[in-house]
Structure 1
Amino acid sequence: MSDQEASKRKENPEKNGLRTPGLRGAKTTTLFRAVNPELFIKPNKPVMVFGLVTITLCVCYLGYLHAVTENNQQLYEAIDSEGQRHMRRKSSKWD
């Protein structure tokens, strides 16, 4: 089989009696394709990598903000009635 014949088979699988694998070869309605585009669109690796990096950075930033907020709690030294010192967080009257 020559390269030309192989490329023709790849271009027109339905004419050769071959079916396209997956849902791209299935007969569906336009509504189904509009509602479920992720099943028919070819994956785009650079966009997937960009999205994964962006979501990872967002989660890391939220974790950083949570850690900074916990460490930034205003502490003061309180002395109880027995004269012992304790570190306590400042709290509002709403707590």
Structure 2
Amino acid sequence: MTMPSTKPPSENETLKGRKPGLRSVRTTITTMLFRAVNPELFIKPNKPVMAFGLVAITLCVAYLGYLHATIENKKDLYEAVDSEGSRYMRRKTSKWD
């Protein structure tokens, strides 16, 4: 007595009736949603806008660095008054110096 062979169905036989996953969803809504969420994949790069953005970001970072440097320099200065009553800027010194 021979047993009939139980061979698993081939890949072509399983895919004939259905498509697995999101492949079966064919709507314009999902395509429009995908394009709205990922516009950088569908829009051609605009080089003048990219150059302007790069210059703007560079100038902002340079300005923040300038502000940081000027505050660091002003932090060690204070206004001193001498015995004659005239005011002048003087650097802070430590009592240990």
Q: How many residues align?
A: 55
2:34 and 2:63 map into 1 onto residues whose CA distance is 38
Q: Aligned pair 1:67/2:69, yes or no? A: yes
Ranges in structure 2 where 5+ consecutive residues have no aligned partner? 1-29, 78-90
Deviation at 1:39, TM superposition (A): 1.0
Larger Rg: 2
Does 1:76 find its partner at 2:92? yes
Partner AA of 2:68 in structure 1: H
CA distance in 2, matches of 1:30, 1:70: 52
Structure 2 CA distance for aligned equivalents of residues 72 and 53 of structure 1:
29
Q: Distance in 1 between matches of 2:41 and 2:63?
A: 32
Query: Per-residue deviation at 1:77?
Result: 3.8
Which stretches of structure 1, 4 residues or longer, exceed 4 Å deviation after superposition?
Answer: none
Shift of 1:76: 2.7
Q: What is the distance in 2 between the residues matched to 1:63 and 1:33?
A: 39
Cα distance in 2, alignment partners of residues 72 and 41 from structure 1: 48
Q: What is the SS of the residue equivalent to 1:72?
A: helix
Q: Deviations over 1:26-50 (max 9, x none)?
A: xx71101000111110000000000
**For 2:55, what is the secondary structure of its paired residue?**
helix
RMSD between aligned residues: 2.0
Q: Shift of residue 79 of structure 1?
A: 4.1
Higher mean alpha-carbon deviation, 67-76 vs 47-56, is at 67-76
User: Runs of 5+ in structure 1 lacking a partner?
Assistant: 1-27, 81-85, 87-95
